[in-house]
Amino acid sequence: MEQYYDFFLRQKITTQQDFQKAISISQKANASVEATLIKHFQVTKEAIGKFLSAFYNCQFIEYNPKMSRADHLFTTLNRSRLLNECWVPLSCDENRIVVLVDDPSDTKKIAIIKDALQTDGINFAVGIKEDVEAFINQFFDQIEIFDLVSAAEAGKRPIEVAEIVDIMFSEAYRQGASDIHFESLESVKKERILFWMDGEYREYMTVPDDVATDILKRIKSMANLDVDDRRLSKIAYIKFRRDNLPEFRLTITTCPTENLREAVFLKIPTAGDPADLEKGGSHPDQRH
DSSP letter (8 states) at residue 61: -
Q: Last residue of some domain: 132, 158, 184?
A: 158
- Domain contains 285: no
Rg value, the chain, Cα? 22
> What is the per-residue pLDDT across 64-88, written as a single tens digit (0 to 9) for each?
887 888 888 898 999 999 999 999 9
Number of independent structural domains in the chain: 3
pLDDT over 50 at 121, yes or no: yes
Same domain flag for 184 and 268? yes
CB count in 10 Å sphere of residue 203? 10
Residue where one domain finishes, among candidates 158, 193, 208: 158
Overall average pLDDT of the 116-127 stretch: 95
284 has pLDDT over 50:
no
pLDDT band at residue 49 under the 50/70/90 scheme: very high
Residue 258 scores a pLDDT above 80: no
* 28, containing H or E segment: helix 16-29
Average of per-residue pLDDT across 20-27: 93
On whether both 181 and 272 belong to a single domain, the answer is yes
Q: What rounded mean pLDDT belongs to the chain? A: 85
As a whole number, mean pLDDT of residues 273-283 equals 41
* pLDDT confidence bin for 270, thresholds 50/70/90: low
Higher pLDDT, residue 192 or 237: 237
Cα–Cα distances in angstroms (integers) from residue 128 to residues 27, 136, 167, 275, in the given order? 15, 13, 23, 24
Question: Higher model confidence: residue 230 or residue 250?
Answer: 250
118 domain residue, yes or no:
yes
pLDDT value for 53: 96
Q: Which domain holds residue 123?
A: 58-158
Q: Is residue 168 part of a domain?
A: no
| 48, 66: one domain | no
Read off the pLDDT of each residue in 167-178 and give the average, rounded to a whole number. 88
DSSP assignment of 5-17, as one string?
HHHHHHTTSS-HH
Dmax of the chain from CA atoms? 68
Residue 33 maps to a domain: yes
Interaxial angle between packed helices 33-40 and 129-153, expressed in degrees from 0 to 180 and rounded to the nearest 10? 100
Answer yes or no: is pLDDT of 278 > 50: no
The pLDDT value given to residue 262: 79
pLDDT computed for residue 58 by the predictor: 96
| 141 and 212 housed in the same domain | no
Neighbouring-strand partners of residue 93:
96
pLDDT at 149: 75
Q: Taking the model in full, what pTM does it have?
A: 0.70
Asked, for residue 284, whether it belongs to a domain, the answer is no
